[in-house]
Structure formats: C-alpha cells, structure tokens
Structure 1
C-alpha cells in the first residue's frame, strides 16, 4: 500500500523507512548542523504506520507507542508513524555507530537465525527464510516429529513439508544426504 504525498508522488512503507534511515545518516554525518525536517514527513509517517509486526524494530516501536500513549491510524497497526520513526532512527544510529552493516553489504545467504528457529519449534509463529525453515524441519525430525506437526508449526502444507524432507534427505535429488545419518534414518 502506498500513501500519496502533498506533491502527488507516492511513498510505500519500505520507501518511507529508507527515507528515514538516509535522513538519520545525513544527520549523523553532520553533527551540530540544524536541518529542516524531511519534506512530506506527515505522509512518510503515515506510510511507516503500515510496517508489519514482523519488522525487526517493531517491538521497539510498539513499546514506544504504548509508553507515550499514542493512537494509531488503524486498528491493526503496530505503532504510530512517529514511534516507527523514533525506532528506525535509533536502530540506524546503532548500525552507524557500531558499523554493523555497510549500505551495499548483502546478508549471508547461509545465515540461520537460531533464536527464531527455537521460537518456532516452541510453537510461536514467525516469518522464516528458507534456511530457517529447513533447520526447523531438521530439528523437529530429529525430535521425532512427523510432517503434520512440522507443517503446523511452519504454517505450510503437509505436502510442502514432505517434499522438503525428501529434498533434505536426498531422496528426490539423488544428492548426498544433508541430514545427519541418525536424522536420515528417522525420516526414512
């Protein structure tokens, strides 16, 4: 969903986050210099209020909104635009201060968020990447869980989970087994 600005252009929630992060980097690069507010800040904040609950800074934005007693524009919003802006700017300051990521740096494609994996296995629903979904399958199979239980935890069809189990054990692709020997025996 996009929000129309005063000058007629449109801005999405993702674009709004990018504008806030860029503005914060400019502010950090020139300390002590008074800057004008972002043009179209109101539209940017409305767009920010559309960011999903799965966003990395959503808990901070939600907590800020509760502490300040702000109202959101719609009932399913995580936080208001001001609190999203506050959380994103704070996050960007930490990223810049500690040099956590370069702007053009790509995430490691093999990275597995083990905390998210453990939380999903414990029953919480979280959005996962393919690496994390595969890890959930591996761990749950090692615990003796069947495809039905795994599909319930992942929010995927049993058929999809079974196909993934087959691929991970090398049944479909004919490749070497990616699961350990003990897990492969349990899958078979």
Structure 2
C-alpha cells in the first residue's frame, strides 16, 4: 500500500505538501529495531505515548491531569529524528491494535510549504490539516503527525517579522500554529 500524497495544483504546477501512510506499513517494518541511542529514549517515548493513550481512553479530566500530546525531537541533521518518529508510529500501530481500528502517519515537510503564488501556501496547509481533522473525528483512529524541518518555518517567520512586511510566510506559520 503506497502512501497517499497530498498534492495541490496551482496554475498547472504540482506541489507536494506531505504524505499519509496507513499503518502498520511495510516501509516502516524494521526501523525501530535498527535505531540505537545512548539514553533509554525509545523506551521513554513508548511509555509516554502509551500514557497519553491510556489517559485519553480513560477520559481523564484534563483540568486535573494534563498530558501534552506533542513530542518534540531535536538534534543535528542525520541523527535519526525522522526515522525514530516513523519507527515509533509503526510500533504503536502494532502494539495498540486492540484499542484502535486504524492508524495513520502524516508527514508534512515544512520546507516545501511555500508556494510562489501569494496566499496559496496557507490555504494548502489548511487543506492538509482539514484531512487530518476529518480523520480524527473517529475515536477508533489513531493519528501521528510528523512535521519535518519545522525550523525552516521559524526562520521564515523571523525574517518576515524583521522586514516589517506582511507575507505569506507569516500566514503559513500562523496556520500551522493554529492547527497544531
């Protein structure tokens, strides 16, 4: 099963916003097992995800116990952040198959978000998140979203703010922050 590519066509030009995989997926099969880290990072990540799932399934009052559903991985290029995220998604989809009917992994490459057509980038990003929102309405569907190269958005936002001109970059960053 190949991933679904979120492509948009603007003035006949195709732009790929990201992909959606249905999990478990054969392309992610041995990723988790091939990763090695000095710290017990993989164990901690699995425990964190399972805690978030248990809290959600138990309908824990978020005003009493709050558990952030976001994991931020950082490090230099090539250290395995993307592979770790894909491997984690695969492992969760296998271990939690009794709790959920469907698992999806979305990958959004932040560096490819910007369109040369004014205001289209923000609109395209909204369409990407509309698909995710639609799928998330099903309580038996589990979704993991990877936003790769997110630092490109912060750099774009900083340069836009310093130039004192409203731009598509600010709209994209604001759309992303709103949807997260």
The reply to whether TM is greater than 0.5 is no
Task: Compute the TM-score of the two structures, normalised by the length of structure 1.
Answer: 0.23
Quick check: which one's strand share is greater? 2
The structure with more radius of gyration: 1
Task: Compute the TM-score of the two structures, normalised by the length of structure 2.
Answer: 0.23
Quick check: which one's helix share is greater? 1
